[in-house]
A and B are shown apart, each in its own frame.
Chain A
Amino acid sequence: MVGGLQRLDGLRPIHVVQGEQYVTDDPEAVLTTILGSCVSACMRDPLAGVGGMNHFLLPGARPGETDSVRHGVHAMELLVNALLGRGARRERLEVKLFGGARLIKGLTDVGALNAGFAEEFVRREGLQHVGGSLRGDSGRRIQYWPGSGRARQVFLPKQAEELIAIETRTPKPAPAQTGALELF
């Protein structure tokens, strides 16, 4: 164990940063991420032997803001579709949700909005919410084994600015119409 996390000797760690998702059927893979107010959904189909993780933050999240929610739905859809594309079945998907911490008091609780969105998405889509850890006021380091569905987390010291910097280190541009074809 290292700092409460399992050593990854012999395994293939894959770090998932904000705005990305990763899906694998490699039984030796372990997906890792660091979360502040962002949320990661860890999903797997135990029968198909495929699983994955995303890492997202609702941009400009405000309660009920439709355009913000669209980005969250898109992040979840990318993960779900990638799993379905690798042989998973929607009705067998098991989901663990992590993150959504409130790092800075006094501002809008972006973490709670992210967490609430993720829970609502899983509920509305009828997916099996089998565990995880949401909200609180500490960042988290997550390890997820898609092969077994096992997940471990370690709470990180409350260094809000540092966590925010880590989460936003490689921000993905908003996937709008960039690169779109001009056919119409």
Chain B
Amino acid sequence: MPAAASISVVVVDDQQTMRSLVRTGLQQLGFKDIREAGDGEAGLRQVLTGTTHLVISDFNMPKLDGLGLLRAIRSHEPIRGTAFIMLTGRADKELVQRAVQFGVNNYLVKPFTVAQLKEKIEAVFGPLT
């Protein structure tokens, strides 16, 4: 049972408001190490330059979208094992299927609750303490 505080998270979304909401939810769940990035390129830099256990990323972003970020992470040996949860809209079934092909660990449909966020993270890491 991993402690939420021991999991390092990078939240990637081009909307500052959404990043704040995800951060708030993670903090409510006990996460401490939370970094943010406003697009896929910045997110990739965060993952490459610091210890990251989990990426929670939007799909629609400038420069490098969520799928591009996922592919980049899965193709870099040192970081390819990083857990990846994609944030999607309601009508993104095709996107989810493509993300699965690229090795996404889970996905979360917006708008979501903190309980749903917890459920998706626990499906990847196991029950959080």
Chain A contact residues, CB within 8 Å of chain B: 66-67, 69-71, 73-74, 76-78, 80-81, 84-85, 90, 121, 124-126, 175-177, 179-181, 183-184
Interface secondary structure of A, over-half rule:
helix
Known: A175-B90, A183-B100, A184-B106. A125 touches B111 (CB 8 A): no
- Knowing A85-B60, A183-B96, say if A70 contacts B16 (CB, 8 Å): no
Q: Chain B residues near A84 (CB, 8 Å)?
A: 60, 62
Do A181 and B96 contact each other (CB < 8 Å), given the known contacts A66-B21, A80-B15, A175-B109? yes
Instruction: From A71, A125, A183, A184, give the contact of B15 (CB < 8 A).
Output: A125
Q: Are A69 and B106 in contact (CB under 8 A)?
A: no
Interface residues of B (CB under 8 A from A): 14-18, 20-21, 24-25, 60, 62, 89-90, 93, 96-97, 100, 105-107, 109-114, 116, 123
Residues of A within 8 A of B20 (CB): 124
Question: Bound complex: CA of A66 vs CA of B21, how far in Å?
Answer: 7
B100 and A67 contacting across the interface, CB-CB below 8 Å:
no
Output the nearest chain B residue to A178 by Cβ-Cβ distance: B90
Residues of B within 8 Å of A184, CB to CB, are 105-107, 123
A77 adjacent to B109 (CB under 8 Å): no
Q: Which of A69, A74, A76, A126 has the most CB of B within 10 A?
A: A74
CB distance from A122 to the nearest CB of B (A): 10
Given known contacts A66-B25, A77-B15, A184-B123, A177 and B111 CB-to-CB distance under 8 angstroms: no
- With A66-B114, A181-B97: A176-B21 Cβ-Cβ less than 8 Å: no
A76 to B89, CA, bound (A): 12
Selected contact of B109 from candidates A71, A121, A126, A176, CB within 8 Å: A176
Q: Report Cα–Cα, A179/B111, bound state, in Å.
A: 14
**Residues of B contacting A80 with CB < 8 Å?**
15
Tell me whether B96 and A67 are in contact (CB under 8 A): no
